[in-house]
Amino acid sequence: MASVEQKPKKDVARDYRIAAIDRAISVLEELAERPGQGVSEIARRLGMNKSLVFRILQTLEARGYVARRHDLPQYRLGYRTSVLGERSSRQDALLMAAGAEMDRLRDATSENVNLLVRDGMRALVLATRESRHSMRLFAQAGRYGPLHAGGGSTLLLAFAPESLREAVLNGPLPRYTEHTVTDPAALREVIRTIRARRWHLARSDLDDGAFSIAAPIRGAGGEVVAAISVAGALSRLDAERRRAHLAAVWAAAARISERLGAPPLEAAPAQAGTGATRACLSGLPSRNQNSKQRFD
């Protein structure tokens, strides 16, 4: 029996694009290039029908990504595109300033290192450096999390605008472990302590059996723009490591803040091996709490 020659299968690349989103982005790019166009002109330039372009514009306008002149049916980019651009610029600068410090901190502590920012009423993990120990934690690059649990997340909540803090405190506070703070009054006390100390140590409130020590990163105006944290297994966090990790995290945050143009602080809230550190770690007030440096 003669053999049948098998034709090689074509390596067909799968297309995972979503057509509606692709068209909406095309409309945005067209308006960025030529603002002031109407539905007909956009449709002609992009080869779409006018009904589709109209619906896309209506959707984008409702979300603030395009704006229409009141007197004429002409469109331009809306305020939300400026917000996204500004956030992207800030995050790029932050990642550039923090990258080497995150590597150094991971090498010094042999623990996970996380860089977080606040995005509305959630925390966003911008970048991580994985520990040499095998422990999977909640924080992963690009992942959103709560503001009321976790070292860096709760620190960001503490230095958020008062209106946002109140919105979180008055909203749902989901429980992630038996140690998650879900009582608003207790969370207020945690926030008060963080603002006084200027750092936060979380234990098993987001990941069972894990710790997170976080310090704030400040922008050019002295405001808190991000948090950097060291996280790992709580079983490894003895008193000596706790002091060393806190000193290392604080120093990394200070150097990143300096690169972002932040004014220097009058004094660090804790230095490894000093009475100030022991006071902070035992829950006593530090002499540096009354620093006049802007921190909110």
Q: Which CATH architecture has domain 19-77?
A: Orthogonal Bundle (1.10)
Instruction: Give the three-class secondary structure for 78.
Output: coil
- The CA distance from 8 to 98, in Å, is 49
Q: Any alpha helices (H) in 79-221, and if so which ranges?
A: 79-109, 151-158, 162-169, 184-197
The pLDDT assigned to 264 comes to 84
Query: Higher-confidence residue: 147 or 89?
Result: 147
Share of the chain above pLDDT 90, in %: 66
Assess whether pLDDT exceeds 90 at residue 133: no
DSSP string, 22-48: HHHHHHHHHHHHSTTB-HHHHHHHHT-
**pLDDT tens, position by position, 171-188:** 999 999 999 999 999 999
Q: Is 98 left (phi over 0), alpha (psi -120 to 50) or beta?
A: alpha
What are the domain boundaries of the chain? 19-77, 83-290
Poorest-pLDDT segment among 77-86, 169-178, 254-263, 273-282: 273-282
Residue whose tokens read 């619906």: 55
Q: In CATH terms, are 19-77 and 83-290 the same topology?
A: no
**pLDDT tens, position by position, 37-84:** 999 999 999 999 999 999 999 999 999 999 998 778 899 999 888 878
CATH code of the region 83-290: 3.30.450.40
Rounded to the nearest integer, the mean pLDDT of the chain is: 85
Region 105-123 average pLDDT: 93
DSSP string, 225-237: EEEEEEEEEGGG-
Assess whether pLDDT exceeds 70 at residue 222: yes
The pLDDT assigned to 70 comes to 78
Rg (CA), the chain: 25
Poorest-pLDDT segment among 90-94, 173-177, 190-194, 198-202: 90-94
Instruction: Give the three-class secondary structure for 296.
Output: coil
> Residue 241's closest CA among 190, 201, 283?
201
The pLDDT assigned to 88 comes to 78
How does DSSP classify residue 75? E
- The CA distance from 250 to 104, in Å, is 13
Assess whether pLDDT exceeds 50 at residue 257: yes
